Amino acid sequence: MRLKTVAVVFNPTGGSAKQEGLKSLHAALAGYDIEVLDMPTTADPNSASELASQASLQNVDLVIAYGGDGTVSGCAEGLIKAGKDTPLAVFPGGTGNMLAKSFYSNLSPSEFVNMIRSGQRTKLDVISAQYKPTANENHSKEKIAVVALSLGWLSDVLVDTKSKHKRHFGMGAYIWRMLKASALAHKQTHHNVSVLSGRTNNYKTSVAFALNIAPPLASLVSRGCNASDGLLDFVVIDATTALDLLKLGVMFLLGKVDRSQFYHSVRRKAVIVTSETPFMLEIDGDKVELTSYLKLTALPQALSCILF
């Protein structure tokens, strides 16, 4: 792909490691006379989306998301809204990096630049999440998920894992938090949710999630999940006690989680989720808002990416 100008949308609060990574990326791009437009995000949750949209409207050749999954989904949302089919590339800079890990391992800055120069555009589906905030149920909002979105107390536990723990312990930080919380599963709030996907099913939910892409660790949870089939995978886990979760964990380790009595899934174009009590909507690892109504729709080939 011929590149003259690229925009790099990044979170400037990532510390010295993030700044060093940015310098190395600049140096690798400069080796090919590629002009770089730096676009640091702010505390505004819509910042990455707005910056990516702005960059697209300025006719850059490529937007690079340098950060975690939240930065990636924000950039994807902005590019889709701009409507100019500007491609997105992901230079991993977070702890999850789910999109990048789904397609390639960690690349050095020079390897990454070689990839975006020689790579071809790939069209990916995304998930549109339309919801009604609890604070104002007369007003509907829409967000975009590139990899996944989730709800439920177990999802809250994972999203609340501290950044410093994620940096030091990686996936171990998530596992430890989940084990601690599971011991008190009987005290957690289990949302009674209704899932409409052709027919209505009711569940007392520990966690539910919609997948557009199945990263390596999620591949057993949603076999055959495909980012280019125009469908989304919606999975509900209704294990409500520590013993239930232990049984589920054993099935996961055996590679048979989809055979567990606590596992329920559908693969559809659209799913509607309603709840008796508000739940926190979490998209690509970031908290969004409390809601009791959520409509999920797969948007086929909505996002152009350079992935290999």
Could you tell me if residue 288 is left (phi over 0), alpha (psi between -120 and 50 degrees) or otherwise beta?
alpha
N-to-C CA span, the chain: 11
Confidence of residue 204 (pLDDT cuts 50, 70, 90): confident
Residue 224's φ and ψ, nearest 5 degrees, are 80, 5
Q: What is the pLDDT of residue 173?
A: 52
pTM for this model (two decimals): 0.87
- Digit-coded pLDDT (tens) for 263-288: 999 999 999 999 988 999 999 888 89
Residue 268 has a pLDDT of 92
User: Does residue 259 have a pLDDT over 60?
Assistant: yes
3-state secondary structure the chain: CCCCEEEEEECCCCHHHHHHHHHHHHHHHHCCCCEEEEEECCCCCCHHHHHHHHHHHCCCCEEEEEECHHHHHHHHHHHHHHCCCCCEEEEECCCCCHHHHHHCCCCCHHHHHHHHHHCCEEEEEEEEEEEEECCCCCCCEEEEECCEEEECHHHHHHHCCCHHHHHHHCHHHHHHHHHHHHCCHHHCCCEEEEEECCCEEEEEECEEEEECCCCHHHCCCCCCCCCCCCCEEEEEECCCCHHHHHHHHHHHHCCCHHHCCCEEEEEECEEEEEEEEEEEEEECCEEEEEEEEEEEEEEEEEEEEECC
Report percent pLDDT > 70 for the chain.
Answer: 84
> Lowest-confidence range among 9-13, 17-21, 24-28, 189-193?
189-193
The encoded tokens of residue 222 equal: 């949603």
Confidence of residue 113 (pLDDT cuts 50, 70, 90): very high
Lowest mean pLDDT among 94-103, 172-181, 242-251: 172-181
The answer, yes or no, to whether residue 223 has pLDDT greater than 80, is no
Distance from C-alpha of 106 to C-alpha of 112, rounded to nearest angstrom: 9
Residue 11: per-residue pLDDT? 84
The domains of the chain are located at: 5-119, 126-301
> Vertex 120, ends 29 and 229: CA angle to 5°?
130
Instruction: Give the pLDDT of residue 98.
Output: 78
The CATH number corresponding to 126-301 among 3.40.640.10, 1.10.10.350, 3.30.470.20, 2.60.200.40 equals 2.60.200.40
Q: Which fold has domain 5-119?
A: Rossmann fold (3.40.50)
pLDDT at position 154 over 70: yes
Residue 233 has pLDDT above 60, yes or no: yes
Q: What is the pLDDT of residue 183?
A: 60
Residue 189: which pLDDT band, with cuts at 50, 70 and 90? low
